[in-house]
Each structure stands twice: as structure tokens, then as C-alpha cells.
Amino acid sequence: MLRECLLFTGNKKFSNRAKSYYPPRFSLRYKLAIPVLVLVSLMVLILFRTTFQLVREMVLERNESRLFAIAEVFTESLKVPIALNNKEVLLGNLEWMAQRPDVLEVRVEDPQGSILGGTNFFPMPLPPPASRKNFFGIHRVSEEMYAACVPIWLEGKLLGRLIILFSQEGFEKELWKIFEERLKLAFLMAMILALLTSGFTWLSIRPLFRLKETVQEILRGDLSARTRIHSFDEIEDLSEAVNEMVSRLGRSLDNLRSRTEALEESEEKYRLIVENANDIIFTLTPEGEVSLLNEGFSGYSTEELLHNGLPGILLALNEASRKKFEEALDIVRQKKVLMTNLAVTHIHRHTHQEFYYLLNLTPVVDHEGHLKLIQGMMRDVTEMRRVEAMKGSLIRDVAHELKTPTAKFEMAVNWFEKEIQKQGLGEDYAQIIAILKNNIDRLMRTITSIMDLSKLESGVDRIVKTKFNLNEVLEQVRQDMEPLCKQRNLVLEASFLPEPLLILGNRDMVYRVFVNLIGNSIKFTPTGKITFRNRRSENNRVLVEVSDTGIGLDRVDLEHVFERFFQKTPATIGVGVGLTISRDIMTLHEGRIWAESGGVGKGSTFKVEFPLVPK
């Protein structure tokens, strides 16, 4: 499939499809030039508008000062006629003043506001404040009319005031006309600036279009296409980066193509191995779907099991195995730990015959620790179990047959000891009698352990489970094993939780588990101490630990320490089934037992975990 994708990259249909996918484009040069033109035009308009207002205010202020100065000059020719009360001369001067083309009206008032003379009286009255008799200065009557009120003083005496109405018609129009001509010129310059900016922008971004054409060639599948841009700026850097990226992409695709071919070959080998494997191999998703199954089992076809998923697999199990399978599956989902050697029983769909399998469940997680798949493998151990049953039966029979002559031999030794003591030879044969008794005891313990192990593995003894406080059993074990530790000069440190820890099981068997573990620590700890403690663990379970400062275990020993007849050293007293019995007892109690060690000479820790039950 990956190979098809790689070939599809060079197909013209892909380039046409990719090309039609993009909506119509608006050229970058227009995106740059048009906003520049609009922005420059707005800036010119705002600048000229502001400049016009400023210049207008300055010109008007200057014009008002000029008109007031003209009126002050006119007052010099009126002082004498007013002082002499010569109206003819006063009116003559006023008429002379009215001859100016920009003068609309001239009048003279006395200090009380009475008109002494005037010409061209304006039909409308003067507006305030020019109409007030005590107002002096320049006042703008309208857009094109000004009233200049100038006091007439003679030797410190106020003779009255001169009022002149000036017309400034066309003044502002002429001013606006001048600015309008300048605005047209400025707008033309702005257009030229925008065009120059657009042209410069076009030249600056032209390499981008060349880069675009090269990228389109690459999208059409030509990975040999390269850009040759020498703009001496960031675009040239971008071009070189694109060339390097395409080169790396080409090398990556070549590597990917070769890896894909190798992967397909590896997948083919894996498929052949899985399909021809003697074991049943399957994979489950976290949701319970069967994504892989190499063969059917228990009368169900592969297609049925793939279609039904996890419920189809559970349907082939008996009730006890179904419960065990679901619990193990929950542990794998939640804790993402490996579950191995789960003994499950299948019931054949048609013949109802029992088949026995060993089940392994392995979590497959991604780099973030999320569960992706659960890989399962089931090995048919039906024939092996039959052989084991025969072997167990043979061992039990042999052990049973050995028990009778051993008991008779013990009776003979006891009778022999009594006869020797009667004859007064007890001290001479005491050492021989002790050796015989020790070996008889050892032989009887060995026979008893083998028979107990055989019973546990065969399921002959059906245990009766009751609810009891685990702390009570642990305290009993401590009391019983402490004298033995003192005999070996070992310290037994015990630490238990104060609250009751209720479990469901057989009290005597649980007691035997911890006696075996502490006894094992005593055998392999020459000096030091043994720590016996418990604590709560996850998922409402209790963890009990037996730690020692003994000879320790290496990695190989840890893998085989629970196997039957395994002994750390051949000279060790015992037959090597105590830990195996403890393991089988924990299996019956749906618990766990395992060993940990830092290595040889660093001591060992045996951990036992029970599920707690509600009070």
C-alpha cells in the first residue's frame, strides 16, 4: 500500500486534483500595491486637509490684524474734525474711506453710542459684540464680512469709535483654489509613488513565483526539480532550504521504499511463521476485538472467532477458566504487565471433550505508554497434562510405597535403641542411632512433601475456604518460627498493619506458605536478620514480604527458584519442593508469589500478595 502511495505521488491526476483543490488566488503584487496606493492617497488627503485648516487660520488671523491696522490709520484723520465738531470735514473723510473696494460701511459714534456720521449704512444691524458701544477690536460678522471697531483718542480723551465693515468676498475661495491645485499634484505624485512601489514589489517578489513554479513541479512528482534564485535576501535562503528539503525528501523516499520492501518481506515471513505455528496466536484490542488469529480451536472456526471477538474466545472456556481469563485480562489492561502460564480449560464445541492450554497475555504499548494491543498465545498441554498426571500418580504411588517400609524401619531403629539400652550399650551406639533417626526423619519429610505437592498439583485435596484475619496467621507464624531463628543466632523482625486484613482461603495452607518462606530464609542466612512485614498494595490487595540478609539469588536462580526439586546448593537440607508447594497454594488462593534479589551476597525478598475481601 505504501508503494502505491509513493507511485501515486508522481501521477498527473494527483497534481490536477491538488491544483483544483485550491480556490482562485489574488496575486501578491496586487495585495501589496493596492493597499499602498489607498494608504498613500488617504495620507495625502489628511495631510492637505490639516495643512489647509492650519494655513487658513493663520491667513485669517493675519487678515484680521491687517484690517484692524487700516482702521487705526483711518482714525488719525478723524480726530481733528470730531474735536472741532466739523461735520463737513468728518463726512468728507468718511466718504474717502468708503471708496475702498473692500469697505461696505463706515460710521463714527460718540462715547454714548450716537452716530456722528457715516456712509453706505448696511441694511442689517451689527451683531454683538460689535453693536456694543464699549467694544473695540475686530469681529467676524459672517464668512465674508468683518467689523473693525477702533477707539478715537485725543490727548487721553475718548472722542468715540470708528466702525468699518470690510468685505472679504472670494478670499477663502481663492485660498481653497490654490490648495486644490496643489492637492491634484500631490495625488498624481502619490499615484506615481504607488506605481513605483508596486513595480519594486513585483521585482522583489518575482523570485517567489519562480519558487512557486518549482514547488508545483515537485508536487507533480518531479523530485529532481530545483530552484536557482540569486536575490541575496531571505527568498534565496528559502529557495536553498526548499532545495535541501526536497533532496532529503528524495533520500527519505528511497530509504522508505527500500524499508517498505524489507518490511513486506518481513511481514510475509511473519505471516508464514504465525500461520504455521503449533501454538494458537491471537491479538486483542483494548475494546475486545480480535484483530489476528492464526487458527480456530475448540470446534470454532477462525472466521467465527474473528467475528465474535472476545466473547467468542470466552465461550470456548469453562466457567472457572473464563473467570481466570477475564481477571488476567483486566490486570493486563490496567497495569500493563505480562501474565504467563495461566492454565485454562477449553470445552470442545461438539464433543464436549476437555482440552488444556497454557495462556500467555502480553501488553503492547506505544511510546506514550498507552495500551494498543494485547497479544495472546495458547499452547495445547493436554497431552503433557496427561503425562504429568501419570507421573504424579506414579510419584504418589512410589512415595506411598516408600512410606510403609520407612515407618517399619523407624520402628526397627526404635526397638534396636531400646534393646541396646537394656544391655547398657546405649552410649556406645548413641551416635549411630542419632544418624539413623536423622536420616529417617529426613526421608519421612521428603516423602510427605512429595505427596503433598502431588496432591496439590493433581487437585486431589479440595480446599475449604473461609474468611479470616491474615494478621492472626502471620502473628502465629512469627511466634512459631522465632525460637528456630534464635537457635541460628538470627533476628526475626516483624511489623504488621494494626487493622484486620480479611482474606478468603484455607488457614492451614496460608500458614504453611509463610512457614516455608521463613524456613527457607533461615537455611540460606548464615548471619544477620529476617524481616517479616505486610502492607496494603493496589487494587484492594495486601502484600506480605519476607526479607533476609542471606546469600541472595542471581538472575538464573530467580527464574527457577519455584521449580520443583530446585536447590540453591546440592548440600542443602531438604528436597527442594517447599517453594513449589507455596506457589501452588497461592495459585489456589488466586494470589501471587515472587522473589527478588540484588544478586549473590545481597539477600533475598519473597513477596506474597492476597486479594482482600469486604468486612
Residue at 131: amino acid letter: S
Average pLDDT on 554-558 reads: 77
Within a domain: residue 72? no
Average pLDDT on 82-110 reads: 85
pLDDT value, residue 607: 92
Contacts of 87 (CB under 8 A, 6+ apart): 81, 116, 117
| pLDDT surpassing 50 at residue 15 | no
Average pLDDT on 491-497 reads: 91
Name the pLDDT band for 343 (thresholds 50, 70, 90): confident
Is there a single domain that holds both residue 299 and residue 364? yes
- Region of 525 (left: φ > 0; alpha: ψ -120 to 50; beta: rest) is beta
**The 3-state secondary structure of 577-603, one letter per residue:** CHHHHHHHHHHHCCCEEEEEECCCCCC
Which residue has better confidence, 421 or 346?
A: 346
Average pLDDT on 570-596 reads: 73
Is there a single domain that holds both residue 320 and residue 405? no
Contacts of 585 (CB under 8 A, 6+ apart): 456, 509, 510, 512, 513
| pLDDT surpassing 70 at residue 263 | yes
Give the highest mean pLDDT range of 8-22, 272-286, 451-465, 570-584.
Answer: 272-286
Is there a single domain that holds both residue 359 and residue 394? no
State how far Cα 369 lies from the chain centre.
Answer: 12
pLDDT value, residue 570: 45
Taking only Cα atoms into account, the Rg of the chain, rounded to an integer number of angstroms, comes to 57
Give the integer Cα–Cα distance in Å for 367 and 316.
34
| pLDDT surpassing 50 at residue 16 | no
Strands in 145-154's sheet, in edge-to-edge order, are 115-119, 103-109, 157-167, 145-154, 137-142
| pLDDT surpassing 80 at residue 438 | no
Average pLDDT on 471-488 reads: 90
pLDDT value, residue 372: 87
For 145-160, the DSSP string reads: EEEEEEEEEETTEEEE
Is there a single domain that holds both residue 425 and residue 473? no
Name the pLDDT band for 426 (thresholds 50, 70, 90): low
Average pLDDT on 329-352 reads: 87
Structural domains counted in the chain: 4
Within a domain: residue 262? no
DSSP 78: T
Give the integer Cα–Cα distance in Å for 436 and 67.
151
Name the pLDDT band for 105 (thresholds 50, 70, 90): confident
E-strand stretches of 182-248 = none
Cβ(476)–Cβ(514) below 8 Å: no
Contacts of 346 (CB under 8 A, 6+ apart): 297, 298, 316, 317, 318, 321, 354, 355, 356, 357
Phi, psi values for residue 313, rounded to 5° = -70, -45
Mean of pLDDT over the chain: 78
Within a domain: residue 198? no
Which residue has better confidence, 389 or 1?
A: 389
Name the pLDDT band for 5 (thresholds 50, 70, 90): very low
Positive or negative torsion for Cα 318, 323, 328, 330: positive
Within a domain: residue 178? no
Is there a single domain that holds both residue 471 and residue 433? no
Give the domain extent around 435.
386-457
- Give bridge partners of residue 594 from the DSSP assignment: 607
Within a domain: residue 55? no
Average pLDDT on 331-344 reads: 86
Within a domain: residue 84? no
Among 113, 136, 169, identify where a domain stops: 169
Give CA separation, 9 vs 22, 218, 251, 260, in Å. Answer: 18, 9, 15, 16
CATH number at residue 594: 3.30.565.10
For 542-554, write each residue's pLDDT tens digit.
999 999 998 888 8
pLDDT value, residue 29: 62
Name the pLDDT band for 10 (thresholds 50, 70, 90): very low
- Region of 122 (left: φ > 0; alpha: ψ -120 to 50; beta: rest) is beta
pLDDT value, residue 82: 85
Among 379, 413, 445, identify where a domain stops: 379
Which residue has better confidence, 131 or 246?
A: 246
- Closest C-alpha among 533, 528, 574, 534 to residue 548: 528
Is there a single domain that holds both residue 448 and residue 496? no
pLDDT value, residue 496: 92
Helical (H) or strand (E) element with 128? none
Give the integer Cα–Cα distance in Å for 50 and 186.
14
Within a domain: residue 264? no
pLDDT value, residue 118: 83
Is there a single domain that holds both residue 497 and residue 586? yes
Average pLDDT on 80-94 reads: 85
Name the pLDDT band for 576 (thresholds 50, 70, 90): low
* DSSP strand pairing (290-293 vs 137-142): unpaired
Is there a single domain that holds both residue 476 and residue 597? yes
Among 416, 440, 457, identify where a domain stops: 457
Within a domain: residue 318? yes
Give the integer Cα–Cα distance in Å for 328 and 310.
13
For 509-520, the DSSP string reads: HHHHHHHHHHHH
Is there a single domain that holds both residue 487 and residue 585? yes
For 365-421, write each residue's pLDDT tens digit.
888 888 888 988 888 888 777 766 666 565 555 555 566 676 766 777 777 777 777
| pLDDT surpassing 80 at residue 487 | yes
